[in-house]
Amino acid sequence: MSALIIVDLTPTDKEMLSTYSALAVDTLVPFGGEFIAKGAIQALHGKAAFGTKVVIQFPSRENAENWYASDAYQAIIPTRDKGMDSQFHLVG
């Protein structure tokens, strides 16, 4: 069963966010991860804490967890945290 990592975010430094995004793409490949949606959200019900959402699909929950824990992804977390405030959620 596939799994999704859903990222809610608010950019804090667009240059750092751009750097992080470029680096993050390559970290997904070994785990079969792919971006399936990203962009500004429209809240249909309730108040949204973040204005942007990213959805990443993986072949399995194990692949998603292994991607997040990978040395390659962990190495870019400081760049991520300089570029955005965020929450990551694993579904599936």
- C-alpha to C-alpha distance for 31 and 68, rounded to whole angstroms: 10
- C-alpha to C-alpha distance for 50 and 85, rounded to whole angstroms: 9
- C-alpha to C-alpha distance for 80 and 57, rounded to whole angstroms: 19
Domain ranges in the chain are 3-91
Q: What kind and span of H or E run contains 36?
A: strand 34-40
Collect all residues with Cβ–Cβ distance below 8 Å to 72 and sequence separation of at least 6: 26, 27, 30
**How do residues 5-27 score in pLDDT, each as one tens digit?**
999 999 999 999 999 999 999 99
8-state DSSP, 34: E
**How do residues 41-90 score in pLDDT, each as one tens digit?**
999 999 999 999 999 999 999 999 999 999 999 999 999 999 999 999 99
Q: Please name the CATH architecture into which domain 3-91 falls.
A: 2-Layer Sandwich (3.30)
Taking a C-beta distance cutoff of 8 angstroms, is the pair 55, 49 a contact? no
- Please report the pLDDT score of residue 43 as a whole number: 93
- Please report the pLDDT score of residue 78 as a whole number: 98
